Amino acid sequence: MTRFAHYPSLTGMPVVISGGASGIGESLVRNFAAQGARVGFVDIALDAGEKLAAELVGQGQEVLFTPCDVTETEIYQAAIAGFAAAHGDALALVNNAAHDQRHDWTDVTPAYWDDRMAVNLKHAFFAIQAVAPGMVRAGRGSIINTGSISWMIMSSRIPIYETAKAAAHGLTRAMARELGGSGIRVNSLVPGWVMTERQLTHWLNAEGEKLIDQNQVLAGRVYPDDIARMALFLAADDSAMISAQQFVVDGGWANA
């Protein structure tokens, strides 16, 4: 028997997730599907996305994958419309897609700035724009913007990423006000250093392990499922009166 929560309100709920083929996104897709939600997800990783969708559909879950670059706004909004046609208007949106590419601030060009903002922030606004009319018609909905503790702890070599992730909470606060009158909740979900395959492969070394042990107040590591379980709560009716907030899941590292 599982020791984690089941949310009846998620059964049959249309959910849209960006960047769902791997890492935190994959966990989001799996966890929402396991709750009985109707999941539509996008990612640029065609093979991984198709494999994940086929696996979950084979288990009897309602999952659709559309390969999509979220920086192509019209194409992304069309994908969201496709999910609505198949599953019904989204009642939950998880703006998860992001990329923490390292960079030296002295080398940043205007074009690189625009590209990084498109990958890490812009798509979230236009996804909200795409799902909000359906949520307004329903008189309810939950939008979850994924942030990062990187700007809170002043990480190095990702200044544009940090700027975008700090702005994500500004977007949350602004849209919570804009949409709250229609019964739509908007919150930020802020992961710490999560043990995804990308992090384990590219960044986590002995020095990183030491850093985590020194800064987290909880022993152990943060995993993608830890993030997904918070997203489930924020999408479910259990969080009906929560909006404009940020929820940090980082083992107690950042002083938010």
d(CA 232, CA 209): 28
d(CA 65, CA 50): 7
Q: Is 204 helix (H, G, I), strand (E, B) or coil?
A: coil
Which residues, other chains included, contact 48 with Cβ-Cβ below 8 Å and sequence gap of 6+? Answer: 21, 22, 26
Instruction: Give me the residues paired with residue 189 across strands.
Output: 146, 247
Q: Is 7 a catalytic residue?
A: no
d(CA 133, CA 130): 7
Active-site residue identified among 76, 112, 161, 223:
161
- Ranges of H-type helices in the chain: 23-34, 46-58, 73-87, 110-117, 123-138, 159-179, 197-202, 206-215, 224-235
| φ and ψ at residue 246, rounded to 5 degrees | -125, 135
Q: Is 145 helix (H, G, I), strand (E, B) or coil?
A: strand
Go through the chain and tell me how many residues it has. 256
Which two structure tokens, joined as six digits, stand for 18?
């960006």
194 secondary structure, DSSP code: B
CB 74 within 8 Å of CB 130: no
What residues act catalytically? 161
